[in-house]
Amino acid sequence: MRSRFENWLLGPQPIPSHLEYKTALLRATLAIISIVVGAVYIITDAFYSITGNSPFYVFAMFAGIITLLLNRRRYYTLASIVFMIAINGVVFLFADSDPFYTGIYAYFICTSLTAFALFGIQKKFLALGFSTLALILCLTAYWTEDHLLNHNVVPPAYANIYLTINITVALITSVAIIYFLTTLNQHSERILQNQNAQLAKANTELDQFAYSVSHDLRAPLSSILGLINLYNLAKTESEKDSLVALISGRVNTLDQFIRDILDNSRNSRTEIKLEEVKLPVMIRQVISQLSHMRDFGKQELQLQVPETFNIVTDAGRLRIILSNLISNAVKYYDPAKPNPYIRISAGIENPHWHLTVEDNGLGISDNHRGKLFDMFYRAHAHGEGSGLGLYIVNEVCKKMGGSISVKTVYGEGSSFTVSLPLLKS
């Protein structure tokens, strides 16, 4: 989250690239330093009654202002070029006219570092060009006898002040640049570590995926082939009808498995898309879409969500969460209980909102609880699910910046609670 000061420096619009954002912030910081240093020099010269340098200080300040404006408008390369030309020029003029012991030459180190920090490896020729320019100007100012400006005779007291200011500013600027490069490197390392962790996770899941998919795709197909053979041998219409119903059930199982795979794929490769969602309306839509399930309608559906409960979230991913949790509650209901129910509730606990799907179904034993959200894990041996549902819900919650928790007692029921960030439209 950017501060108001950063918004003032860089403009209100977000900068998508972390590298561009950090470089723009450094460019703006260096521009402000040039403005402040120019003002300090003007005040110091006025105090010691030194004249003639003010136009160059004003020029450095003006270059800093132009750099800030170009930076805000996102003309990043142009802003860097303007800043580098102006600062190298001003530093050269003072190095050419001021004595060596004023410390003015320290700025050439800063301008070389600045060139690589602002242009980076992406524009290495500009970085090398301005770094080489700084070296040439430094050597020219030191070794040539002819001077563009009159050679200044600096009083000892002023020379000490001048040296203090120059060394301090050069150190601050160098530290800022090195800090920028260090944090950028750390950010790159974190990204690399995350990518390596994701790659390791992907490889593990791919191995598990290949094994489970081959099994879970073949099992329904083998069952369907067997049922087709039985259908060809059936003699009565009632036998054929029952076999068709069984085939339809196996096809639905296969279709749901493929849908689960697609949901997992979409969640991993698509970005978050925020929109305002009327939660009660979406819940009723999901329930309606699940009406084809075998045990649908055998439980009392208790919707404890206010009709005015609207939230800003990713509608597609929220629909995946609701569909999986509610279908699980339907699938694993307990026919032995006299009053089976599914209770769906929601509430707000800033900065999150939560959704709970609770049932008094079969429940889950303790030895399964730690693996509930693993890929292809089935807590019930008789279950017809793919073992992907809760894994997908967990991955979707992570993608949305939230989490899922479960409370369950075997034989009494389960309660799944999803917690997601409370966002504004």
List pLDDT tens digits, range 72-127: 999 999 999 999 999 999 999 888 888 788 888 999 999 999 999 999 888 999 99
pLDDT band at 214 (very low <50, low <70, confident <90, very high): low
Backbone angles phi, psi at 360, to 5 degrees: -110, 45
Residue-level pLDDT at 119: 93
Lowest mean pLDDT among 136-140, 288-292, 340-344: 288-292
pTM, two decimal places: 0.52
| Spatial distance between the Cα atoms of 371 and 394, rounded to a whole number of angstroms | 12
CA dihedral (170, 172, 173, 178) in degrees, to 10, reads: 120
Q: Are 420 and 402 in contact (CB under 8 A)?
A: yes
Q: Are 405 and 419 in contact (CB under 8 A)?
A: yes
Does the pLDDT at position 291 exceed 60?
yes
Residues 6+ apart with CB under 8 A from 210: none
pLDDT band at 69 (very low <50, low <70, confident <90, very high): very high
- How confident is the model over 266-281, as pLDDT tens digits? 666 778 888 899 999 9
Nearest by Cα to 31 from 1, 60, 2, 74: 60
Residue-level pLDDT at 279: 94
Residue-level pLDDT at 111: 92
Lowest mean pLDDT among 33-42, 198-207, 237-246: 198-207
| Spatial distance between the Cα atoms of 374 and 357, rounded to a whole number of angstroms | 20
Tokens of 415: 């309660």
| Spatial distance between the Cα atoms of 166 and 411, rounded to a whole number of angstroms | 77
Cis before 351 (ω within 30): yes
Arithmetic mean of pLDDT over the chain: 84
Cα 288–289–292 angle (5° rounding)?
95
| Spatial distance between the Cα atoms of 406 and 128, rounded to a whole number of angstroms | 58
Looking at residues 63-68, what average pLDDT do you find? 94
Residue-level pLDDT at 68: 94
Q: Where in the chain is the domain with CATH 3.30.565.10?
A: 272-425
In a 10 Å sphere around its CB, with 0-12 CB exposed, 13-18 middle and 19+ buried, how is residue 382 labelled?
Answer: exposed
| Spatial distance between the Cα atoms of 309 and 128, rounded to a whole number of angstroms | 58
Tokens of 178: 């090195």
Residue-level pLDDT at 280: 94
Tokens of 332: 């694993």
Residue-level pLDDT at 154: 65
Half-sphere exposure of 243 (CA within 13 A, CB side): 18
- Ramachandran sector of residue 387 (left: φ over 0; alpha: ψ -120 to 50; beta: rest): left
Percent of the chain with pLDDT over 70: 88
The CATH class of the 272-425 domain is alpha beta
pLDDT band at 303 (very low <50, low <70, confident <90, very high): very high
Q: Are 383 and 331 in contact (CB under 8 A)?
A: yes
| Spatial distance between the Cα atoms of 43 and 36, rounded to a whole number of angstroms | 11
Residue-level pLDDT at 419: 94
Q: Are 92 and 140 in contact (CB under 8 A)?
A: yes
- How confident is the model over 354-410, as pLDDT tens digits? 999 999 988 888 777 777 777 666 655 555 556 677 888 898 899 899 999 999 888
Looking at residues 163-167, what average pLDDT do you find? 88
Does the pLDDT at position 422 exceed 60?
yes
Strand partners, 274: 314
Residue-level pLDDT at 216: 58
- Ramachandran sector of residue 119 (left: φ over 0; alpha: ψ -120 to 50; beta: rest): alpha
Nearest by Cα to 88 from 121, 63, 55, 68: 63
- Helix, strand and coil percent figures for the chain, each rounded to 5: 65, 10, 25
Residue-level pLDDT at 147: 66
Q: Are 82 and 69 in contact (CB under 8 A)?
A: no
